[in-house]
Chain A
């Protein structure tokens, strides 16, 4: 049976969405993770909890609030209109924004853990070797916390691929724009086209398993090689 053209469109869209979100999340999540790892501010607790919210919130709740927030009366909607971008719900970039919220903890937490495990010492050492803050970040933090960044990227990507509830709420099911694989599967199930659903769902299952297996092997190899923080 294989994949239909609309399936391929959905697969391609999903990969494009997940890649875009992963890149943006690494850029946005790293400073947040850094702040959460280093700050002693009393806002650290609330901010950490806020970042972790999508872990426990039902996606439909998050989706519903994003729908309201991105609408013409909502804060995001007002911002995007003021910037001349219009209303972003039902668009690819609307999904990107929603996914940024939804997958944020999956990117922030591995990076935060890696930075915390790194400790102050390597940064102090680099400072005594004349390395400024940015220099220290790229020559010490990035290479030493690399497993954390890789975990973050993989989890952020995979989680965005698996995103469904939020996209359902704000996507509008537009082919090539917002109809991602998970929504396509849902449609097939609702249309009672179980064979087609099986193909896509099976592919997704294999993908998720392969990603998580890869992540597991990567971590195992690293810990066996003993390369990492410390020494």
Chain B
């Protein structure tokens, strides 16, 4: 078990190294990305450019530049942005992380609960009006673009009906740290949570329903029914329990991607200065240090999520346990 864990950790490091190298190289292959021109400002002379290149180490071979950048990113942690001079990259990312984590964690709780309820209820009542209604609602949820839904939510809660009793509690857009004001944190995030979770509730509900319906056709469900344990227990303890594999796989991947910056649109719409927005800004200004920092951070979460899913499988599916 320990060796499996260690080898898995080794793989993680390797994957993250590969991703950072690719991100680094893509940057230098991008036309118009020469950072010295940006740093030196407009209409800078050739001499200034050379000077800047030398100061920032941009005239050295690429492997050396890569190594230097990694050294400043991970060891001395004083890597600064190419665009906003003096802005340290690592603290900026660290500041953005709690915002994104708050957003995605809250939404994840909602969509796991919502997906489970929708999937189980629809699967158990297959073919009835309740099932059909839930599936139509899910389809709508999956189809609505998150930025549109977010803007509509803002329109309603921040503008049109903000002064009514219904939404007067909604704070202005932005993030309130949990440590400062937990209740304010909750109020500021509850609408973004629902907005982000809508798509996933629909998606997970539909996937789980299909998975449960398939499982309920299995022979072992018939065995369970023949035991006289009641349909609810058959559904939950045998049907749902066996259907969770697809659900957990999806959750791991989606959660990792969202924490890694995939919640960008939600962050932008609700004015949350999270990792997604940071990455987006860095890409627009071709700010290499910031891009590297956010990409490595994102890859860490995606790889980590995969790892956690694999570990979760060991608990969910005993067949996986013995495969190692």
A and B are interacting partners: no
